[in-house]
Amino acid sequence: MSSITTPSTSNRATSASPYPVSGVPGDIPEIDGLCINTIRTLSMDAVQAAKSGHPGTPMALAPVAYTLWQEFLRFDPANPLCPSRDRFVLSNGHAGMLLYSLLHLTKTQAVNAEYQLTGKPSVSIDDIKGFRQLDTRCPGHPEYHWTSGIETTTGPLGQGLATSVGMAMAERWLAARYNRPGFELFNYRVWSICGDGCMMEGISGEAASLAGHLKLSNLCWIYDNNHITIEGHTTLAYNDDVGTRYLGYGWNVLRVSDANDMDLLRRAYAAAAATTDRPTLIIVDSRIGWGAPTKEDTSAAHGEPLGEEEIVGTKKFYRWPADPKFFVPDGVMERFQSGVGARGATLSKEWDAKFAAYSKAFPKEAKEINQMETRKLPDDWAADLPVFPADAKGMATRISGGKVLNAVAKRVPWMVGGAADLAPSTKTLMTFDGTGSFQAESYGGRNMHFGIREHAMGAICNGLTLSKLRAFGAGFLIFSDYMKGAIRLSAIMDLPVIYIFTHDSIGLGEDGPTHQPIEQIAALRATPQVLVFRPADANEVTECWRTVMPMVHQVVVMALSRQDLPTIDRTKYGAASGVSRGAYIVSDAPDGKPDLIFIGTGSEVTLCMAAHELLAKEGIKVRTVSMPCCELFNQQDQAYRDSVLPPSVRARVSVEALSTFGWDRYVGLDGDAIGMTSFGASAPINVLLKKFGFQPEAVAARARAVLARVKASSTK
């Protein structure tokens, strides 16, 4: 068997004849072996050029991914946004070159932010050459918003798996709502490749448990069982019987004893596709860096480049030219076009024709699908937003939040979500006619029951939102700690996920420090691309929803109170519509020229207003500002920010029954931030508020001290 001829001027071989190939079992057709080794060598060369990355897993999994894409994946490279496409999630994102190679070799096309094809490849050979470099479409781990064909950002292990559960749930919901006899618009499958690290992370167990309960038979995880992590062999820390664990979750479990055996892989994929009553886990035994003669079965092949000498030896083993780098032989792209390309083109053509007929037969539903797919809202989405009358007793913002949520969701049919077993407390159950619960027997239900699985809930909400549903997840603010990884990925992907967190301060009382959030809001505010809203009353809740629903690239956190809050009389005080600018004046000095400014959020706004009245009786000119969303206020022009917080007014006091971290930005060097510097305590709410200084008299006293200090410094 002769070697492949090396072309002199391009990355494509010039001979039209088949190339001899090695490094794959002899029963694999030569052209398939050529495709598999192209994936492997592109991955090796890209990691070596970057001088960082993980070549071993792409090399070992090349046959696994190739067989899936070439023979089973229903995906159109020429139309990567076809709504009924299968979703492929590479959960072990460190193997990103596996996916980048596939996107390049299948000629997947790029799509812009307006969902239009650009006429350019999603991943060019130059992108692969720039792997892990600035502004490449091949970043260190796959990123959703950078590269068409990447369904979700992965990297933190286990997140991709949990996100894929959200995608599978979305398909089931879409099918239940929109499919009609003769019009099976939504029937796609979700395939995810994962590794030992994904299986070790707790989030995957949470998600797998829920997927088994929901009998998501459209979901298949392919587990690369190679026994290697960064530190070495998995026996250092891990000896789970994964198959038995997943049988316990209610999954169908299959095993492929050799990652290079395309026939076994083919049979496993077919069995997964034929399973109708449960999700499937395929355990694939592989050797990391398969085909690299000296580094296979080592962690080095997993976590660092092979080195030039090792690459030359490996390519020789494959009967591959050492140069040029990034070599794609003739026939490889054509082979992909005859498989996944042809199958995908048929899928897109059939779906377009079916949807055109569906639009005539079911125009209302077709309009909904078009609006949902382009993230547009129904024209009347805000028609039922409530206005709450002034009320000294008022209501907890979690209660008004539930009322507003129901008003919005009733007008946005593709809004779905739920809580981590806390809907009775978070008040996030949708109760209008036709909602129901999303269960294996009723996939059209809009209330999701995530169980006590906060981390998985966040990732599942990402998967639902990536599928173009408008998803929300709810829980207690303190448990946002359990969700931070998923929320961070929501932000990285610019997804309009809505996280509703209640019991937002020490005001929850007797549950004590373990349940009283202190630092959580500060951490969420510090996260780029997250808007954190802490509304002061029921009408601010309404305005929060009015503000955030039209946003299509913005993660939103709503922090709502457990305790009742007065509904502010808007005939006397500033209009709640000021929420749309992040902060606004609620109550001002008579001449509009204050000597002192209170800045409050949430439950502390009315506290500031009460302290304001005490000081006003003493002749002190005070302004009270409600700042429900610091980030949104920061985005306003300088003139507006100065109109709310005049730079000339140095006496400023912020009040928030949470950590004071970050408030120095608004109160300045001369001001004071009233908040929590401990983890709280267990006691009734009024006892706690008194102990920690959240009473009008205590706030007024702190304000007098600030004003005196500022006046003293100005006379020096």
Strand partners, 596: 622
Q: Which are the contacts of 304, defined by CB distance < 8 A and separation ≥ 6?
A: 52, 53, 54
Is the CA virtual torsion 473, 475, 477, 482 positive or negative? negative
Using CA atoms, how far apart are residues 133 and 127, in angstroms rounded to an integer? 9
Q: Which tokens hold the place of 78?
A: 């020429």
Inter-axis angle of helices 56-71 and 30-50, nearest 10: 140
Which residues, in sequence order, are CB contacts of 683 under 8 Å at separation 6+? 509, 510, 691
Query: Are the C-beta atoms of residues 151 and 87 closer than 8 Å to each other?
Result: yes
Q: Fill in the amino acid letter for 268.
A: A
Q: For residues 349 and 367, what is the distance between their CA atoms, to the nearest angstrom?
A: 20
| Nearby residues of 362 by Cβ (< 8 Å), 6 or more positions away | 180, 183
Q: Does residue 90 contact residue 139 with C-beta atoms inside 8 Å?
A: no
Sheet with strand 415-419: strands edge to edge = 447-449, 415-419, 470-476, 498-502, 555-559, 530-533
Say how many CA atoms lie within 13 Å of 550 toward its Cβ.
7
Pull the structure tokens for residue 159.
């997140």
Sheet holding 252-256, edge to edge: 87-90, 190-195, 219-225, 280-285, 252-256
Are β-strands 555-559 and 584-587 bridged in parallel, bridged antiparallel, or unpaired? unpaired
3-class secondary structure per residue, 587-640? ECCCCCCCCEEEEECCCHHHHHHHHHHHHHHCCCCEEEEECCCHHHHHCCCHHH
Question: Using the 8-state DSSP alphabet, how is residue 392 labeled?
Answer: E
Q: Are strands 391-396 and 564-567 parallel, antiparallel or unpaired?
A: antiparallel
Task: Please enumerate in sequence order all residues whose Cβ is within 8 A of that of 329, keeping only pairs 6 or more positions apart, or say none.
Answer: 4, 12, 13, 19, 34, 38
Q: Is 454 designated active site? A: yes
Q: Reduced to 3 states, what is the DSSP secondary structure of residue 559? A: strand
Q: Which residues sit opposite 567 in a β-bridge? A: 391
Residue that the structure tokens 């995906």 belong to: 75
Return the bridge partners of 281, or none. 221, 253
Residue with tokens 């920010």: 641
Q: Are 381 and 412 in contact (CB under 8 A)?
A: yes
Which is the catalytic residue, given 201, 454, 540, 543? 454
State the Cα–Cα distance between residues 216 and 115, nearest whole angstrom.
28
DSSP state of 225: E
**What b-and-e string marks burial along 344-377, b requiring 16 or more CB atoms within 10 Å of the CB?**
bbebbeebeeebeebeeebeebbebbebbeeeeb
* Amino acid at residue number 256: V
* Pair 66, 32: CB distance under 8 Å: yes
Nearest to 488 by CA among 231, 692, 203: 203
Angle between helices 363-373 and 342-361 (to 10 degrees): 130
Helix, strand, coil abundance in the chain, percent, nearest 5: 40, 15, 40
The C-alpha atoms of residue 540 and residue 546 are separated, in whole angstroms, by 10
Q: What is the C-alpha separation between 67 and 274, in angstroms, rounded?
A: 17
> What is the Cα gyration radius of the chain?
29
- The residues annotated with a catalytic role in the active site are 454
